[in-house]
Amino acid sequence: MTSLLAQLAAWKPFRAIVLGDYMLDQQLFGDAERLSADAPVPILHVRHRHDNPGGAANVCLDLIALRGQVTALGITGDDATGAALRQSLDAQRVDTSGLVADPSRPTTVKQNLIGLAQARHPQKMFRVDFESRESLSQETSDRLFEAFRRALAKGADVVCIEDYDKGVCTPGLCRRVIDACRAAGVPVLVDPARIEDYSKYAGATAITPNRTEAELATGQELHGEASPEQNARIARQLLEQLNLEAVVLTLDRHGALLLERSEGQPVAIPTIAREVYDVTGAGDMMLAAIAAARANNLAWPDAVRFGNAAAGLEVEVFGVVPIPLERVHNEILIREGQVNGKLRTLDQALVQVAALRRGGKKIVFTNGCFDILHSGHVSLLEQAAAEGDFLILGLNDDASVRRLKGEGRPVNTLEDRARVLGALACVGAIVPFAEDTPIRLIESLRPDVLVKGADYRKDQVVGGPLVESYGGRIALVELVQGKSTTETIAKIARRKS
């Protein structure tokens, strides 16, 4: 197991404070099938509206999904939109006691018009912003810093600054926050605004700009695709000018470049090619994931690998959707080569099951020896898979097959059987077990549906009472008559004689 996977297996909840620009993202969904008669512009026939916390509020939700306890620090207007934003964050267990209402400015709202045409996927057509970019008054800044001091006194493992240049993260406030964190020994990670002067972030622990933002801040406009040496030069300039511990320069499909003060040499952290659906929220997810990883004492390279995986999953979905820890863990299992086809250890299967359940999927379990695959096996597995969303197959290991079936069995080894079974689209994962029954797997995986062949009665199904005790069910599926491994072996023997 790699160091990253070992750390993820020991992941613990953490406490985070998020200071920055809080906003509400509104999505107006509708049909965009025709043009206006009075201008060559599409008409959006709005069907429904969906509101999401955005900006720094999205970082809070990302951290919650990664098992953080989060305190929000920022400004809203003294308006209905601000109240809706607070209510939404409260519902997600974010502590909103640090959100200060400022009657002199509106709550920032990003209103996205999203159209659907000719039954295709939704497409963002236009965005309307309601906001103020005026810097906070000194009185409001003082109120916000006092709220920050109270939150810091309660304890924090990490502080995030998410700056969208809306006037909240003023140089004075950033300086006071960073100084307070340095005095308390709490790391500060900054996702900077797209501005020319980063001096207000000086003394933070780390900064996570994308390359375009970093070019603007350093004056090193490169035009086109930069070389690794040019990226390293930009990162080093930020590291030295701002007195940082690390710089994480995000490079889209090229992953990220990490430069640590203690190491001296930059490290390229690659990502994998993806079908990019919507980049919205990827930067927020990157910041949250790296912060969560550092709060769990992951080394910088592992923290950035974790952040890359989380941000990569974010761009594959439409809109802003926090990516839960279990999904990121499962993604890294796959990336690091720990998943061999569909064969899983029980621990790996538990990670996958947790990720699936976070997505509302129903888990099905069945088991057997499956020594020589035949049409009866395939029929049973297809029927089992139809009982839910993801089928886990408990597979007897070689020693347990021998105990159950006698000498000369299995004909095929565990690895061979797993490879053949894994080629079936209906099988989601295969977990071997050494015992005579799969009860240990059933107790651990807690499937929603337990499947056996109709040659069993419900009271004969191992694990049946347990599954029914927590609201699961037993499904008995029809078998193909005359099809079995024993009969197949006997038929081969008869033909040889």
Phi, psi angles (nearest 5°) of residue 364:
-115, 145
Q: Determine the Cα angle at 209 with ends 325 and 280, to 5°.
A: 55
The C-alpha atoms of residue 234 and residue 400 are separated, in whole angstroms, by 59
**Residue 22 and residue 74 in contact, taking contact as beta carbons nearer than 8 Å:** yes
Residues 6+ apart with CB under 8 A from 302: 3, 4, 7, 293
Element (H, E) at 151: helix 138-153
The number of beta carbons lying within 10 Å of the beta carbon of residue 188 is 26
Amino acid identity of 434?
Answer: A
**CA distance linking residue 98 with residue 148, whole number of Å:** 7
Strand bridging mode 473-477 / 267-269: unpaired
Task: Find all residues with CB under 8 Å of 255, minimum gap 6, and list them.
Answer: 268, 269, 270, 271, 308
d(CA 493, CA 338): 39
What positions carry a catalytic annotation?
Answer: 284
| Cα separations in angstroms, 98 against 141, 143, 185, 398 | 12, 9, 21, 59
